[in-house]
Structure 1
C-alpha cells in the first residue's frame, strides 16, 4: 500500500507540476503577446505621428536661412564655404530632433529618444541653438550674418503657438540636447574655420603655381582664403581626399592654351565677345551656392509631390542637400590646395612665362568680378552646384525634368528659367568662365566630381531605418 501511495503521490505531484508549468507558459505568452501588441501600437502611433506631422516648421526655418543668406552683389556677405557649414549644421539639427522623437532615419549625432516631445518645439529649439552656438565662434561674422531679428522672432512665434505642457517642455529639452550633441561632434572644427591669414601656404613661383591675389575685401592682403578649410572633418565623406581630382593641364599643353584663351576672351571685365545673356548668367549664379540651390530644392520638393513630404522626409531631404554642399567644399578645397593652381588673372597677366607659345600675356587683364583668393582648380562653385543637383535628382526617384524659375540675390528682379535640374547645374558651372574665375577644365571636373559625391551622400547618409 505504501508503495502504491508513494507512486500515486508522485504522479499527483508530476501532474500538478505540469499544470503549473502550462499555466506559467500561458501567462508568459499572454504577457508577451500583450507587450508585443503594446509595442506595435506604440510604433504605429509613432509612425502615424511622423506621417501626419506638417513640415511647415522645418520649411519656416529653411526659409529664414534663405532670407538671411540672400546678399546683394556689392553688399556684405559670408564666404560660400562658410555659409555651407552653417546651413549643414542647422538642417542636420532639425533632422536629428525629429528622429529623436520617431527614429525613421539614422541621425547625425545620437541623442536620447523622447517619443512624447513636441516635434515643432524640438525642431525650432535645435535650429535656434545651433545658430547661437555658431555665433559664439571666434569667426562668427564669416559664418552667420549678424542679424538675429528673424531668428528670434521665428523661435518665439513657433513656441508661442504650441500649448504649454509636458510635450512642449520635452520638445524644448530635446532641441537643446540635439544642438549640444551636434556642436559637440563638431568641437574640433574651430582651428580650421578661420577665414583669414593663419597658416598661409607659400606663394608659388613656377608656371601654374598659385600667386597671391589683389582682393578689395582684404586690403591688407589675405594670401589664401580659408587656408585650413580643407582640413575640416567631413560630414559624410570617409576622408577629405576621397574625391581628389586628377591634375590640371600642363601650362605648356595645347589644351591649357585653349582654356586660357577662352577665359581671357569671355571672362574679361571689358570683354568684346561675351553676350549680354552670358554676362547676366555669370553674375546671376555668383551668389553663394547654399542659398541658390536651396531655391531649386524647394521648387523641386513642391513640384514633385508636396503632400507626400512630411516633416521627417523634408528635414532629411534638406539635410542631405546642405551637408552634401558642405562636404563638396571640404573636398574641393583639398584638391585646390593639393594642386595649388593659379587663377586666370595671374595666368593671363603672366602668360609670357608659362612656356606656351599659344598664349600671350595681357598685364592689364582683369575679370568681370573680383576673384576670391584661393586656388583655381577645380571649381568649388561647379562642384557645390552639381552635388546639390545630384542629391535633388536622386531623392525624387531620379526625376530631372522640372519647370524651374529661379531668382538670385545678386540680380534682384531677374528670373532665369530651366526645364531640368541638370540644365541649371550646367549653367551654374559655365557661369564661372564668364566672370573670369575659372578655366573650362576646372568647371567640367568640378561638375563631374559633384555628381559622384552627390551619389555617395545620397546612398550612404541618414539612411532609412
Structure 2
C-alpha cells in the first residue's frame, strides 16, 4: 500500500513542472502547509484536542523528513533517518506534509494535490527532487501509522455529574486523558492537585472576581472584546492554531531546518499539553462559574452569594469541566516554547485571531504577555475561575520545559534552541 501511495505522489510531478536550471528553491513550505492545516481544522470543525494532534502530526512529519536528510544532525521526533543521500529537503518537506493532510482531511485531497504540484514545480527536476518526494512521502505515511493507535479514537464521554461542585453535562473527548504523548515521558506528571475547596477563602475570592468580571449583565466592552479575540471555538483554528499562526509570524525568513524544528517543538508541546489538561478535567469534573454562582447556596461557603439570574459574558457556560482552562494550557505551553526557542520573551508581534472582533489585530510585547491575556480572557468571558487559568498556564509551561530540555537536540556538540544555549 505504501508503494502505491508513493507512486501516486510521484505521478503528481508531471511534465511541464520544471523550474529553470539555475533556479534556487524559494518555497516557504512550512508556512504554506501549516496554513493548509489551519484550513483543514476550520473546515472539519475539529475539537481543540484533535486540532492540536493534527498540527503535531503535520509538523513532526515535516521535521523528520528534513532532519533525516541532514545527517541527521538532530534527534528525530518520531521517524528516524537517514533518508537517501542527496535528496532535496524541500521536496521531502512538501511530500511529507501532503501525506499527512490527505489522510487526516481526505475531502480536500484535490487541494493538497494541487499545492504539491505547485511546490514541486518550483524545484529542479531530477533525481534529487524525486528522491526527496519518495523520502518525504514515506516519512508522512510512517507518522500516520505510528499515531494510528495512539488512543485518540474512539471518542469517549464522561457522564454528567450532580451536586455541589460538579459539572452538570456529559462531555466527550475524555479519551485524550490517556493519549500517547509525542514528546514528554509521562503526561500524568503534570496533572495538578485539586481546585480550592468550595468552602475555602481562595474559592470565595475567585468566585467574587468572576461574578463581577464575567457578568453579562455588567457592560464592559473591553473585556467582551478580549474574550471574543481569544475565544476561537469549533470552526476556527482552535487555541493551538492561534499559536501556530503566531509562530509562523515570528519565524518568518528562517531557513527550512530551523522553522521545521520550531514548529515541531511547538506543536508536539501543544498536543502533549492536551493530555494532562483533559486528565485534570476528568478527575475533578469541576463546575463552571454559571452553575457555581446560580447555586452558591449549596457550596457550604458563607462568603459566596447566589445569583440565580447570572449569565456569563461569553453567552455560553462551556462544554467541558471548568478546571483547568484548556485555552490557558495551550497558551502557557506555546509561550514557553517560543521564548525558549528564541531565548527571549520580548519578541514583539502583531496578531489577529480567527474571532478577533472586526478582524482587528492586537500587538504584544512578548509571548508571555499574549498568553496572560489569553488566559484572563476566560475569566472575562465568565468561563473560568482564575485558579483554573493559573493551573492551565502551569501545565503548559511545565510540559514545554520538558520538551525543550529533551527533544530534537543536536546529536553531537553543544545544542540550542534558536540562540538559547540549551
Calculate the TM-score normalised by the size of structure 1. Answer: 0.77
Q: Secondary structure, in 3 states, of the residue corresponding to 1:408?
A: coil
How many Å apart are 1:152 and its aligned residue? 3.1
Corresponding position: 1:296 with 2:243: no
Q: Secondary structure, in 3 states, of the residue corresponding to 1:417?
A: strand
Equivalent in 35, 44, 47 of residue 79 of structure 1: 47
Matched residue, 2:76: 107
Task: State the alpha-carbon separation in 2 of the partners of residues 237 and 375 from structure 1.
Answer: 24
Partner deviation per Cα, 1:361-394 (whole Å, 9 max, x = no partner) = 3333332243442211111110101110110000
Equivalent in 350, 355, 358 of residue 410 of structure 1: 355
Matched residue, 1:341: 286
Task: State the alpha-carbon separation in 2 of the partners of residues 122 and 105 from structure 1.
Answer: 17
1:265·1:271 contact (CA, 8 Å) conserved in 2? Answer: no
Task: State the alpha-carbon separation in 2 of the partners of residues 131 and 66 from structure 1.
Answer: 11
Partner deviation per Cα, 1:297-342 (whole Å, 9 max, x = no partner) = 123224xxx4xx3211110001111111111111211111122211
Q: Secondary structure, in 3 states, of the residue corresponding to 1:58?
A: helix
Equivalent in 306, 309, 328 of residue 364 of structure 1: 309
Task: State the alpha-carbon separation in 2 of the partners of residues 433 and 150 from structure 1.
Answer: 39
- Give structure 2 stretches of 5+ with no counterpart: 1-23, 233-237, 412-422
1:95·1:312 contact (CA, 8 Å) conserved in 2? Answer: yes
Q: Say if 1:245 and 1:358 are closer, same or farther in 2 by CA, change over 3 A.
A: same
Matched residue, 1:427: 373
Corresponding position: 1:135 with 2:105: yes
Corresponding position: 1:58 with 2:24: no
Task: State the alpha-carbon separation in 1 of the partners of residues 348 and 187 from structure 2.
Answer: 35
Equivalent in 67, 87, 103 of residue 117 of structure 1: 87
Matched residue, 2:178: 231
Matched residue, 1:313: 258
Equivalent in 115, 120, 126 of residue 96 of structure 2: 126
Task: State the alpha-carbon separation in 2 of the partners of residues 298 and 130 from structure 1.
Answer: 19
Q: Secondary structure, in 3 states, of the residue corresponding to 1:297?
A: helix
2:217·2:311 contact (CA, 8 Å) conserved in 1? Answer: no
Matches for 1:68-217 after TM superposition, within 5 Å: 68-69=40-41, 77-102=45-70, 103-108=72-77, 109-135=79-105, 146-148=107-109, 150-189=111-150, 191-195=151-155, 198=156, 200-212=157-169
Partner deviation per Cα, 1:49-101 (whole Å, 9 max, x = no partner) = xxx97662222212333454468xxxx73222211110000000000000121
Q: CA RMSD in A?
A: 2.1
52-61 vs 153-162, which deviates more?
52-61
Task: State the alpha-carbon separation in 1 of the partners of residues 350 and 60 from structure 2.
Answer: 27
Task: State the alpha-carbon separation in 1 of the partners of residues 42 and 30 from structure 2.
Answer: 19
1:241·1:335 contact (CA, 8 Å) conserved in 2? Answer: no
Q: Secondary structure, in 3 states, of the residue corresponding to 2:181?
A: coil
Task: State the alpha-carbon separation in 2 of the partners of residues 229 and 430 from structure 1.
Answer: 25
1:100·1:115 contact (CA, 8 Å) conserved in 2? Answer: no
- Give structure 1 stretches of 5+ with no counterpart: 1-51, 137-145, 213-222
Task: State the alpha-carbon separation in 2 of the partners of residues 147 and 392 from structure 1.
Answer: 31
2:25·2:123 contact (CA, 8 Å) conserved in 1? Answer: no
How many Å apart are 1:427 and its aligned residue? 0.3
Q: Say if 1:53 and 1:320 are closer, same or farther in 2 by CA, change over 3 A.
A: farther
Greater Rg by CA: 1
Corresponding position: 1:253 with 2:200: yes
How many Å apart are 1:446 and its aligned residue? 1.2
Q: Number of matched residues? A: 379
Task: State the alpha-carbon separation in 2 of the partners of residues 207 and 369 from structure 1.
Answer: 22
2:67·2:81 contact (CA, 8 Å) conserved in 1? Answer: no
Partner deviation per Cα, 1:261-304 (whole Å, 9 max, x = no partner) = 22222223x231x52111111110111222211232123224xx
Q: Secondary structure, in 3 states, of the residue corresponding to 2:149?
A: helix
2:69·2:81 contact (CA, 8 Å) conserved in 1? Answer: no
1:230·1:330 contact (CA, 8 Å) conserved in 2? Answer: yes
Partner deviation per Cα, 1:383-438 (whole Å, 9 max, x = no partner) = 101110110000012x1112221101112421111112111111011000111210
2:37·2:101 contact (CA, 8 Å) conserved in 1? Answer: no
Partner deviation per Cα, 1:187-230 (whole Å, 9 max, x = no partner) = 213x53345xx3x3343233212221xxxxxxxxxx11212111
Matched residue, 2:417: none
Matched residue, 1:278: 223
Task: State the alpha-carbon separation in 2 of the partners of residues 359 and 321 from structure 1.
Answer: 40
2:285·2:321 contact (CA, 8 Å) conserved in 1? Answer: yes
Q: Secondary structure, in 3 states, of the residue corresponding to 2:189?
A: coil
Q: Secondary structure, in 3 states, of the residue corresponding to 2:363?
A: strand
2:37·2:54 contact (CA, 8 Å) conserved in 1? Answer: no
